[in-house]
Amino acid sequence: MNVYQMMSTSIFQTIVTMGCYDKGMKTILLNLYVLAMVAAIFGVDFAFFRNQFWERLAANIGIVLVFAAFYLIFLKRP
């Protein structure tokens, strides 16, 4: 794999193609992904929607849907 191919792929795909991908690594990466989603939800909640319940709920659902779509499109292995 040359440098240009590595730059065009995501870090997760690079890990998979380099052969250092096992069940333990998958668990760690998935936990980091979920942690990033939780951090994004808390950050948006406290920065923008502190006293607005319905707007906060809608934003949280939107963030979860965006993270789920990104996971299904780019990160899920068949």
Give the tens place of pLDDT for each residue, 27-36.
888 889 899 9
Residue 10 in any domain: the answer is no
- Place 7 in a pLDDT band, splitting at 50, 70 and 90: low
Q: Which of 74, 66, 57 is nearest to 16 (CA)?
A: 74
Q: pLDDT class for 2, splitting at 50, 70, 90?
A: low
How many structural domains is the chain composed of? 1
pLDDT of residue 24: 77
Q: Write the pLDDT tens digit of every residue in 35-73.
A: 999 999 999 999 998 899 999 999 999 999 999 998 888
> Residue 46 falls within a domain, yes or no?
yes
pTM over 0.85: no
- Domain membership of residue 64 as a residue range: 22-75
CB 37 within 8 A of CB 20: no
Any idea which residue has 């997760």 for tokens? 12
Residue 71 in any domain: the answer is yes
Residues 6+ apart with CB under 8 A from 45: 56, 59, 60
Within a domain: 3: no
